[in-house]
Each structure stands twice: as structure tokens, then as C-alpha cells.
């Protein structure tokens, strides 16, 4: 038994090799929530145990269980690795785990006292994040609720956040749309009928005065055009650009991290009171 292991036993009452064998798989499993890779998770777990053992003099067993303390070390190592790689223009934490990272990342099952403590700390962090999300500016709050709380994919979020605008259409012009188009409501405010043609489908219909027709995306793909135009109002509904949603979520996460940083540091240091 070396000096570090002897000091570990004095502070925890545990034999380090036995403790390591018991908790290393559990810590590795927990870290896969961040790394999405068991091999990387095991490496970070090993590094954290080594650092924890080397810094055993600074460990205070009255503040937190050793597994809680070493887990904090491990998570910090993971975060530092992502930041370092981001600076090297290789990747970023958002790009790596954006498709899976939600509040559930912070939750886990527990079957012993140490894991229960860690679970309670993570639950408190979740509540802090929820409160912070609720305090965000509306444009960030809306997307962060759908992403972080509801776990919706980016595409579904983009499709659910829409904008409306009014446009016009000239006689014999095709109805022009972009990839964001969802639907359009064509209303005849004139005093005469308007004929709308589906060029590719050989189908047309007549819009009487004060009548309206909802056009879906699949209809537009058939090249719709008006045969006659007279006081036509077209209300278009479009989804939000996917890159805009990703940008808002990235900024939202930055705001959340900034706001929760101090609270998380206190929880990691002092545990749940």
C-alpha cells in the first residue's frame, strides 16, 4: 500500500483497490452520458481516480462522499477535453452531443448511498436549470423548453415554430415557395371567381368571392398558378430555418451555463443540504 492509498484509507475507511474495482464501472457508465463512448468514459474515469488519489489530502469527507468528489473531477476532465478540442477547431461539446443532450443527461438510477447522494445532487441541478430556462428571454425560452425539457429533435422544433406573412400573386405566375413553406391560405376578396390550376396534376378549382382555400406543401410541389387575379390575399405559414434553431439553442445553452455555474460549483463542493 503506497502513501496515497494509505491516506485514502484513513479518510474513507476503504481499501482503494477494492473501492476502485467497485466504483470504476459505475463512474464509467455515468460518464457515457457525456462521451457517448464507453472507452473514452473509462479513460476519464481512470484519470479522475488517479487525480482523486493524488489530491486525497484536499478531500474533505465531511463535505461529500469520495465517489461524489471524484465524479466532479471526472466531469471537469470531460468538459476540459471538449473545450481544448474546440479551441483546436476539431469539435465542440454542442456538436458532439447536441442530438442527445437534454436534462435527462443529469439524471441516473441509484442503488446505494453514494449513488443516491449523486442522484440528489443531479436532481437539484435539474431544478436549477429548469428555473433558469424559465427566466430566459422568450425566443430562447421557447426553444430550450422544447429541446432540453421535452427532448424534441431540432427539425421538429423548427417545424413547430412558424411565422406568417401576407403575399400577392400575379396572373399566370407560379406560386413560389422555399423549403420552409408549410401552408398558405388563399382568400378571394374580389367580386368574381378565381381559377387556381395544379399544372402537373391536371386539376383546378374555382375560388368564389369571400371563399378561401388552404394549400399544403405537397400541393405547391405540383406548381400552382392563378388563371385570373382579383383582390387575392395569400397568408403563408413557414417553419423556422434549422440553422436559426441550432443557433438559438447554442446561445440558450451558453446563457444557462453562465447562470448555473456558481450554483453548480456550490453543489459540487458542499453537496445537497
Under DSSP, the state recorded for 174 is B
Q: What is the set of domains in the chain, with CATH numbers?
A: 3-137+248-270 (no CATH), 162-239 (2.60.120)
Distance from the first to the final alpha carbon of the chain: 35
The overall average pLDDT reported for the chain is 77
Look at residue 47 and tell me whether its pLDDT is greater than 90.
yes
What pLDDT score was predicted for residue 46?
93
> What is the Cα–Cα distance from 79 to 94, expressed in whole angstroms?
11
Kindly report the pTM of this predicted structure. Answer: 0.49
Secondary structure letter of residue 210 according to DSSP = T
At 172, the pLDDT band (50, 70, 90 cuts) reads: low
Model pLDDT for residues 193-236, shown as the tens digit of each residue = 877 776 655 667 787 888 888 888 777 666 666 655 556 677 78
Instruction: For residue range 98-156, list pLDDT tens digits in order.
Output: 444 444 444 444 444 555 555 677 777 778 888 888 888 988 899 988 887 777 888 88
Give the separation between CA 74 and CA 116, rounded to whole angstroms. 18
What the block records as the C-alpha cell of 51 is 487525480
Strands in 194-198's sheet, in edge-to-edge order, are 203-207, 194-198, 224-226
39-43, 88-92, 210-214: least confident range: 88-92
Amino acid at each position: 500500500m503506497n502513501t496515497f492509498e494509505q491516506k485514502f484509507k484513513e479518510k474513507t475507511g476503504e481499501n482503494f483497490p477494492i473501492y476502485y474495482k467497485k466504483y470504476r464501472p459505475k463512474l464509467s457508465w455515468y460518464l457515457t452520458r457525456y462521451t457517448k463512448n464507453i472507452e473514452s468514459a473509462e479513460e476519464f474515469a481512470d484519470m479522475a481516480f488517479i487525480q482523486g488519489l493524488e489530491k486525497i489530502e484536499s478531500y474533505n469527507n465531511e463535505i461529500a462522499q469520495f465517489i461524489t468528489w471524484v465524479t466532479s473531477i471526472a466531469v471537469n476532465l470531460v468538459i476540459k477535453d471538449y473545450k481544448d478540442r474546440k479551441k483546436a477547431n476539431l469539435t465542440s461539446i454542442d456538436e458532439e452531443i447536441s442530438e442527445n443532450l437534454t436534462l435527462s443527461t443529469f439524471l441516473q438510477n441509484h442503488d446505494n448511498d453514494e449513488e443516491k447522494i449523486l442522484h440528489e445532487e443531479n436532481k437539484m441541478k435539474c431544478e436549477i436549470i429548469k428555473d433558469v430556462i424559465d427566466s430566459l428571454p422568450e425566443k430562447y425560452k421557447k426553444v430550450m423548453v422544447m429541446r432540453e425539457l421535452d427532448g424534441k429533435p431540432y427539425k421538429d422544433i423548427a417545424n413547430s415554430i412558424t411565422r406568417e406573412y401576407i403575399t400577392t400573386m400575379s396572373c399566370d405566375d407560379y406560386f413560389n415557395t422555399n423549403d420552409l413553406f408549410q401552408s398558405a391560405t388563399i382568400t378571394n376578396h374580389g367580386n368574381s371567381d378565381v381559377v387556381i390550376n395544379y399544372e402537373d396534376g391536371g386539376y383546378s378549382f374555382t375560388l368564389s368571392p369571400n371563399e378561401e382555400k388552404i394549400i399544403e406543401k405537397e400541393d405547391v410541389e405540383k406548381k400552382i398558378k392563378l388563371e385570373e387575379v382579383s383582390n387575392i390575399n395569400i397568408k403563408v405559414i413557414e417553419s423556422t430555418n434549422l440553422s436559426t434553431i441550432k443557433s438559438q439553442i447554442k446561445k440558450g445553452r451558453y446563457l444557462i451555463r453562465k447562470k448555473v455555474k456558481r450554483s453548480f460549483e456550490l453543489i459540487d463542493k458542499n453537496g445537497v443540504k
